[in-house]
Amino acid sequence: MSALRFVLAGALLVTGVMLELVVLARWSMPGATPDLVLVVVVGLAIARGPLMGAGAGFAGGLLLDVVPPSAGIVGLNALVFCMAGFWVGRVAERNERTPLLIIGSAVVAEIGVILAGAALGGLLGEDRVAWEEVPGLALTGALYAAILASFVVPLITSLVGRTEPDYFSR
């Protein structure tokens, strides 16, 4: 893994976290907050495979867990995003990179992250989980993830592809 790739992925993740907390969350969209961090993780996973997906998911989830104003269990999002990133990377590795794959994997990843986050949080004693809101959150989250993925993932794949043109050429 080249250093430049790490730095670029790190910069994309930090930018995604900042944009999500400072811009997207403040807009108060109905339902879930558009999960730009997860879409960035999905983009990196599609561009670079399951290893990058798992690492980016871990880093992005951990950032969401600790950067203010976080108040949940530290490590929960790291766990869930890591699994999502790994799964998306696996799927992208084995299939052709079509728009359906991009949007579909983002939607499934977002729904999975919301459900798993709520379930694990509830199991671990997080008092705040409101189960009656979870379906609404999952649906709106999936919608926003689909919209974001349609332009963020191609942007990421072109950015990451440009730094190392001789790697995955599919």
Partner 1 sequence: MRENRRTRVIFGVLLLIAMTLVVLDLRDSAAGNDEGGIRGFATRFFGPVETAFSAVVTPVRNVVSSIGSWGSKDQRIADLEAENARLRGELATSDYDRNRLAQLDKLMHLAGVGQYRVVPAQVIAVGPAQGFAWTVTLDAGSRDGIKADQAVVTGDGLVGRVLSVGPSTATVLLVVDSTSTVGGRVEASLQIGFVSGLGKESELSFQLRDPFAGIKVGDRLVTFGVKGGVYPPGIPVGTITSVKGTPGQLTRYASVVPFVDPSALDLVGVVVVAPRTDPRDSVLPVRPTTSPSTTPSPAASGSPSPRSSTSSSSSSGSSSASPSAAASKSGP
For position 112 contacting partner 1 by CB under 8 A, the verdict is: no
Q: What is the DSSP string of 45-70?
A: HHHH-HHHHHHHHHHHHHHHHHSTT-
Retrieve residue 6's tokens: 């790490």
Among 9, 16, 45, 49, binds partner 1 (CB under 8 A): 49
Total site size for partner 1, rule CB under 8 A:
56
Give CA–CA dist 40/54, Å, rounded: 12
Per CB under 8 A, does 133 bind partner 1? yes
Interface with partner 1, residue 12, by CB under 8 A: no
Q: Which two tokens stand for residue 63?
A: 């950032």
d(CA 37, CA 61): 8
As given in the structure block, the two tokens for residue 24 are 């997207």
Among 2, 70, 95, 163, binds partner 1 (CB under 8 A): 70
19 binds partner 1 (CB under 8 A): yes
* 114 contacts partner 1 (rule: CB under 8 A): yes
- State the DSSP code for 33: P
Nearer to partner 1, 63 or 103 (CB): 63
10 counts as binding partner 1 under rule CB under 8 A: no
CB atoms within 10 A of CB 1: 10
> With contact defined as beta carbons under 8 Å apart, do 111 and 144 qualify?
no
Q: Which residues bind partner 1 (CB under 8 A)?
A: 14, 18-23, 25-26, 28, 31-33, 35, 49-51, 54-55, 58, 61-76, 78-79, 82-83, 86, 113-114, 117-118, 121, 124-130, 133, 137, 141
